[in-house]
A and B are shown apart, each in its own frame.
Chain A
Amino acid sequence: MNRGRSTFLTVWLILGYTFLYAPIILMMIYSFNASRLATVWGGFSTRWYGELLHNQMVIDAAVLSLKIAAVSASVATVLGTLGGIALARFGRFRGRLLFSGMITAPLVMPDVITGLSLLLLFVAMEEAIGWPEGRGMVTIMIAHITFCMAYVAVIIQSRLTQIDEALEEAAMDLGSRPFRVMLDITLPLLAPAMISGWLLAFTLSLDDLVIATFTSGPGATTLPMVIFSKVKLGITPDINALATVIIIVVTVVVVTGTVILNRISYRRLVESQRALAET
């Protein structure tokens, strides 16, 4: 694909990226607006950032969301990695069709269905075994793990199809047991994919509103739930400030993460190529 872009494509790219970024940039600009009205520019001010710092409800919700996201992303990465390995390396096993169906379905499943079905499960479990009592952080985590592991599994599976199976087979031929092969060969090769899977699961969990609303109890309010209830009332300028903070933090993390991961996976690629060339 190196024949170069036509003028049409260049113009379209510029328009496309403007469409993607203009709303975000506008929101950031208005976060420094002194006026309460969203559209009237009342001069530069950091007032909304100050108000944000003193909003205990927002801070509590943010802390809860971060906790849920950290735990959910970690468990989802473990389960999703196992699932991805099974799908990419185990060929045909009993129940594979059901397994691959269950693991990819959450990618497209509408949130309202996932949320409702999990809530009904938790209610039924509480009736039957007395757990979980009420709902809260743990039930949101279980729900988030379930839909995040699908994303991790897909990332891991596609990375495994790019990794040369010869490396694992060579280790097997040299007498390594499957467990050792996974520990010494497969997992290190998968590390960059696992990190990007974790990051994706983390942000998906932080972002989720619908499933968290269904699976949370009265005591657990996540950040998206707070934002949604504020936003429904209309434009509130402190949300602009909150959005700006979130977007800047996420951008810094994602860009640094991507640069580091690219470097790691490039180095690994070079190393494994060299190893293969020497054999």
Chain B
Amino acid sequence: MATDTCREDRGRWRQGIATHLLQALGDAWRTLVVGVPYVWLLLFFLVPFLIILKISFAVSIIARPPYTPLWDWGPDGTLTISLNVINYAFLLEDPLYILGYLNSLKIAAISTVLCLLVGYPIAYGIARSPHGTRNLLLLLVILPFWTSFLLRIYAWMGILNKQGVLNNMLIALGVVDQPITFMNTDFAVYVGIVYSYLPFMILPIYVNLERMDISLVEAAMDLGSRPSRVFIDVTLPLSVPGIVAGSLLVFIPATGEYVIPALLGSPSNPMIGRVLFDEFYTNRDWPLASAVAVMLLIVLVVPILLFQRYQLRQGEDGR
């Protein structure tokens, strides 16, 4: 017995050293796996934000680069830091910006609700389809997402035009006798956003519904609930995580959307992405454009944090 334990101990010892060595190798390996993408993201994701923040406190000047430096070393070695909040004050003073933010939030929120109303039944319908057709239906949802986003918006320009397909159809059906202006209205922007972002709403909800424990629905059915009650009391509450994920995936990018309002929206009622673009390219006011971006980010911080918490939880659930 005693020798056995002794041998066992020695074996364990040897194993210990080997494990340590392997661990050191493994650690180096792990550092490399995390380190490379980490450094890339620090350099090209985090630092750019710090620069935006820095420039938003500068003042626009005619020079290259077109803004004042944030800090200056005087001839006697003194450091002067000039933080200008003038850009932010300007954002609050001029109603153009506040209206831009509010308009963006309104359009993004309404589009998200519309996406949910259109997308939920589609996701539910796919989840309730037989296994074979399910994959085909999913592929058909994803396919437009692979083809060009810009060209799909362009397709809507042909439909919503004054002489477009929709007006032709409405006139032929006798619904209206004068063509309706769809282009360059908020309506067109809603159509564009819902159309482009619909897959982002359908997919998370579908994934959620597909993973759902079917026995809960069956139990409710067996206990005599009507299908509509089962849906409201069981299915809907269980699919809330999917709804939240889909809504965030639509709402956050839609708030900063530039292309859709630029092509389909009205110029007099700009969304904040357009304001930022104009401030940067037309007025060449880099500090003000940076301040607009910082404010947009601040508006979106809560939704983005929610999205990240959801992503983290997803990663942990899977394990």
Contacts and interface: CB of A to CB of B under 8 A. Distances in A.
Interface of A: 1-6, 8-10, 12-13, 16-17, 19-21, 23-24, 26-27, 30, 37-40, 79-80, 82-83, 85-88, 90, 93, 95, 99-114, 116-118, 120-121, 123-124, 127, 142-143, 145-146, 149, 153-154, 157-158, 161-162, 177-179, 182, 203, 206-207, 209-210, 224, 227-228, 231-232, 235, 239-240, 242-243, 246-247, 250-251, 254-255, 258, 262
Nearest to A243: B151
B151 A227 contact: yes
B109 interface: no
B164 interface: yes
Given A39-B168, A224-B150, A117 B257 contact: no
Interface in B264-301: 273, 276-277, 280, 286, 289-290, 293, 296-297, 300
A173 to B, nearest CB: 12
A101 B308 contact: yes
B33, B217, B273 — which one has the most chain A CB atoms within 10 A of its CB?
B33
B263 A232 contact: yes
B121 A113 contact: no
A254 B154 contact: no
Indicate the size class of the contact surface on chain B.
35 or more
B152 A23 contact: yes
Contacts of B126: 13
Contacts of A177: 22, 25-26, 29
Contacts of A239: 151, 154
A124 B51 contact: yes
A30 B161 CA distance: 14
B257 A10 contact: no
A254 to B, nearest CB: 5
B118 interface: yes
Q: Which 3 pairs across A and B sit closest by C-beta, in order of nearness?
A: A110-B256, A161-B318, A117-B48
B319 interface: yes
A79 B40 contact: yes
Contacts, number: 277
B44 A142 contact: yes
B146 interface: yes
Interface in B199-248: 209-210, 212, 214, 217, 227, 248
Contacts of A95: 38
Interface stretch (B3-11, B71-79, B86-94, B127-135): B127-135
Nearest to A158: B318
Interface in B300-319: 300, 303-304, 307-308, 311-312, 314-315, 318-319
22 contacts: A1-B128, A20-B198, A38-B158, A82-B37, A86-B33, A100-B312, A104-B307, A108-B248, A113-B256, A120-B51, A121-B48, A145-B44, A146-B44, A149-B37, A158-B314, A203-B146, A209-B150, A227-B150, A231-B263, A235-B158, A243-B148, A251-B147
Given A105-B304, A116-B289, A231-B263, A20 B140 contact: yes
Contacts of B48: 114, 117-118, 120-121
Contacts of A149: 37, 40
A93 B258 CA distance: 37
Interface string B121-163: 1101111111000010101111110111111101111110101
